[in-house]
Chains A and B, each alone.
Chain A
Amino acid sequence: MSSAELGLVISVFLACAVEAVEALTIVLAVGTTRSWSSTLYGTGAAAVALAAIVVAIGPGLTSLPIGALRVVVGSLLLIFGLQWLRKAILRSAGVKAKHDELQIYQRESAAAAGAAEARGGGFDGYSFAISFKGVLLEGLEVAFIVLTFGSGQHRVALAALAAGVAVLLVAAAGVVARAPLARAPENAMKFAVGVMLSTYGMFWSVEGAGAHWPGGDAAILAILAVLLLSSLGLARVLRLSIERAAIPAGGPVATSSTARQAGP
C-alpha cells in the first residue's frame, strides 16, 4: 500500500469512526427506550441508502480525467476540511462546546420516551424515522469523504472498505459497552480528520490546477506537518487570549494556587 493510499485509509477510517460514534448514540438511545427491531430497520435502511449513493456516484466520478477531477475534488475537500478544522480548533480552545455523547444520549432518550407509543406493539415508526434520519445525516459526510477521497486516487472501493471497517468496529464497541462511547476522543479525531482532509485537498487542488509539488507525493507529509502545527498553534493562541481576557482588570491575586494555574 502506497503512502497516499495509507493516508486515504486513515482519513476515511477516522472520519467514519467519528460519525459512527455520533450515529451510535442516537441508535442506542432510541433502541433501548423504544423498539430495537424498528431502530435496526431504520439503521439498515439508511446504510443501504448511503451505499446506493456511493455505488451510484463513485464509478461516474472515477471515469473522469484525473486532472479535472483533482481540481474539483481537491477544492471541495479543502473547503470541507477547513470547516472541520475550524470547528475542532474552536472546540479545542474552549470557544465551542465539545460533543457530549452522554448528554445527547439522555436528550434523545427523553425525546423517545416522550413520543407517542407505537400502535399494536409492532412496527414503531418513531424509532425507524429517528434512527434512519440520524444514521443518514451522519453518514452523508462519510459518503462525501469516501467519494471525494476515493475518486481523487481512483480508489473508491478502498475508501468504502475503510469506512465499512470503522462502522463495524464502532458498532462492536457499542454492543460491548451497551452505552454511548462517551470516552472516545472525538475532538482529537475531528482535528485529525480536518488536517487530513485539508492536506489532501490542498495537494490535489494544486496538482489539478497544473502546478507540481516539489518532491511529488512526499510533499503530502510536509503539508500535513505544516497544517497540523499551525492548527495546534492557532488553538493555543486562541485559548491563551481567552484566558487572558477572563483575568480581571486588576490581575490575578498572587496566591500559590493561582501562580500554579498560570504556569506555562
Chain B
Amino acid sequence: MKLAGQVLAGSWEFVVGDDWVSAAGVLLTVAVTALVAGAGVAAWWIAPPAVLGLLADSVRRAAR
C-alpha cells in the first residue's frame, strides 16, 4: 500500500508538478470540447484561448 501511494504521488508530481490548477483547467477544457463536439457543434476553437489563458494565469501566479 505504501509503495502504491509513493508511485501515485511520484506520478502526480511528475506529470502535474506544482500547478494542479492548470492540469484541472486542461481536463475541463477537453471535457467541454467533448461535450460541445458531441452535440454536433464545431468545438476546435475552445482549446486555443482556454490553453493560452491557463498558461498566462500559471505564469502570473508563479511570478508573484
Contact = CB atoms under 8 A, between A and B. Distances in A.
Contacts of B34: 71, 209-211
B43 A230 contact: no
Interface in B38-52: 38, 42-44, 46-48, 51-52
Contacts of A37: none
B3 interface: no
Given A206-B43, A210-B43, A78 B17 contact: no
Interface string B20-63: 00110011011101101110001110111001101110110011
B51 to A, nearest CB: 6
B58 A211 contact: no
Interface string A71-93: 10011101110110110011001
Interface string A207-247: 01111111000010001001100110010001000100000
A208 B26 CA distance: 14
A209 B63 contact: no
A131 B31 CA distance: 42
B59 A90 contact: yes
Nearest to B39: A210
Contact of B43 (A74, A198, A211, A219): A211
Say which size band chain B's interface belongs to. Answer: 20 to 34
A175 interface: no
A86 B47 contact: no
B1 interface: no
Nearest to A238: B63
Nearest to B64: A95
Contact of A206 (B23, B47, B62): B47
B55 A86 contact: yes
Contact of B15 (A76, A85, A214, A234): A76
Interface in A69-126: 71, 74-76, 78-80, 82-83, 85-86, 89-90, 93, 95-96
Given A206-B33, A209-B30, A230-B55, A90 B44 contact: no
Contact of A86 (B36, B38, B42, B62): B62
B15 A209 contact: no
B33 A79 contact: no
B55 A85 contact: yes
Given A198-B51, A206-B47, A211 B42 contact: yes
A82 B51 contact: yes
B16 interface: yes
Contacts of B30: 71, 74-75, 205-206, 208-209
Interface of A: 71, 74-76, 78-80, 82-83, 85-86, 89-90, 93, 95-96, 140-141, 144, 198, 202, 205-206, 208-214, 219, 223, 226-227, 230-231, 234, 238, 242
9 contacts: A79-B16, A82-B58, A89-B59, A209-B31, A209-B33, A209-B34, A210-B37, A219-B44, A230-B56
